[in-house]
Amino acid sequence: MAAQDTTKEVGQTELKRTALHGLHTALGAKMVPFAGYDMPVQYSLGVLKEHLHTREKAGLFDVGHMGQCFITAEDGTFATAAAALEALVPASISDMEPGQQRYTQLLNDEGGILDDLMVSRINMTGHDHMIYLVVNAGCKNADFAHLDANLPDGVNLSVKDDTLSLVALQGPKAVDIIATLNSDIAKLVFMTHGEFELSLPDGAIYAHISRSGYTGEDGVEISAKHDDMVRLVGHLLQHDDVEMIGLGARDSLRLEAGLCLYGNDIDTTTSPIEASLIWSVQKHRRSGEGYLGAARVAQDLKVKTRRLVGLKPEGRAPARAHTEIQDAEGNRIGEITSGGFGPSVGGPVAMGYVDVPHNKAGTSVNLIIRGKAQPATVVKLPFVPNRYFRGE
């Protein structure tokens, strides 16, 4: 038997460690190299049970390998900082209110995706001119270099990886659990955030908390100083409903939720429109002007070539990344970019690019798995209904 672990990367140099590394190894996690970090791919529960636990209760993810940074303008205004970032992403930033969060992408000048990221406008008196970004671990060094090179004079980037940790607490019980430390957290709605004091038994800590995540579940992402995070995680793990969840289940959860993984589903060869991320490009940002790569966004809206879609195999065989997609006549019409077994779906699920017009939901296609054509259907994403909290 020969395992092909897709998480593993070749060429191990000195792997970095998050502030929670000691906890992972103490819990018996299986550690793998990921984006230059030694990260837990699974704990003793295993990927399947970790996935289901997150959908049923609350899963705690160490995402401290991701990049955290601030963009601020020397003139102290939000407008200047927002205008600078807005020149590099398709999302509208200038109209963001304090406490608001948006998903967007950094584009190159051809409109290819350099990375996808979360953008927040800080919600704190005296600091609401600051923009906070969370970017992917595997891209962060390139992202920071890109931002440094492209932000105008008077707008500065401040990288916080050396001081801040990041975790995600996801699942239907996540907010109830974190709100025991500060009941105001429960007032946040999806894609908003704030600064909160968390009353831990051994002394309060301060954290930046957003009601967001990447599992399709309700939940929060929590940024705090490294030492404070170690204490917070230790406290959260005492709760019966909280389990640590590894990268394996993080991947199957986001796939069922229909969320893109950078490097699999999106990269410099794909545009936000091809990746079906048009929802993240506000209407007035589709004109072809105003930011790096804007022309590609407008062009891809006009000349429709291919789209990222959900694919549901009819049989039980998972279709992994790079599986060829064919039409009924055997013509190649695309390729799977993410695929596997969806524990909550109870069967295989996949996402991939198909040529227009095969992207319509309900289209029958064939997936070529180990040389055999396996029937599948183009479906609307997500595979599992998302459970974001958008208010009562």
Taking CB under 8 A as the rule, does residue 320 contact another protein? yes
Give the x-and-dash track for 352-371 against another protein (CB under 8 A): ------------------x-
Phi, psi for residue 289 in degrees, rounded to 5: -135, 160
The position carrying tokens 């019409």 is 333
β-pair partners for 348:
341
Q: Residue 214 and residue 168: Cα distance in Å, rounded?
A: 9
Give the x-and-dash track for 67-86 against another protein (CB under 8 A): --------------------
The token duo for 281 is 């490009």
The smaller minimum CB distance to another protein, of residues 49 and 239, is found at 49
Taking CB under 8 A as the rule, does residue 49 contact another protein? yes
Query: Whole-number minimum distance, CB 168 to another protein, in Å?
Result: 19
The smaller minimum CB distance to another protein, of residues 5 and 110, is found at 5
Residues 6+ apart with CB under 8 A from 72: 81, 129, 130, 131, 155, 156, 158
Candidate residues 22, 28, 46, 154; the one interacting with another protein per rule CB under 8 A? 46
Taking CB under 8 A as the rule, does residue 9 contact another protein? no
Taking CB under 8 A as the rule, does residue 341 contact another protein? yes
Taking CB under 8 A as the rule, does residue 161 contact another protein? no
Query: Whole-number minimum distance, CB 135 to another protein, in Å?
Result: 24
Could you tell me the CA-to-CA distances from 127 to 77, 123, 194 in Å, in that order? 10, 7, 11
Query: Whole-number minimum distance, CB 328 to another protein, in Å?
Result: 23
The position carrying tokens 């502030």 is 19
Candidate residues 92, 252, 264, 276; the one interacting with another protein per rule CB under 8 A? 252
What SS3 class is residue 221? strand
The smaller minimum CB distance to another protein, of residues 45 and 237, is found at 45
The position carrying tokens 């939940």 is 219
Candidate residues 98, 112, 138, 348; the one interacting with another protein per rule CB under 8 A? 348
Q: Provide the Cα torsion 81, 84, 89, 94; round to 10°.
A: 50
The answer to whether residues 316 and 305 touch, using CB atoms and an 8 Å cutoff, is no
The candidate with the shortest Cα–Cα distance to 79, out of 128, 150, 132, 125, is 128
Q: Which residues bind another protein (CB under 8 A)?
A: 1-7, 41-42, 46-49, 51, 248-249, 251-252, 316-318, 320, 340-341, 343, 348, 370
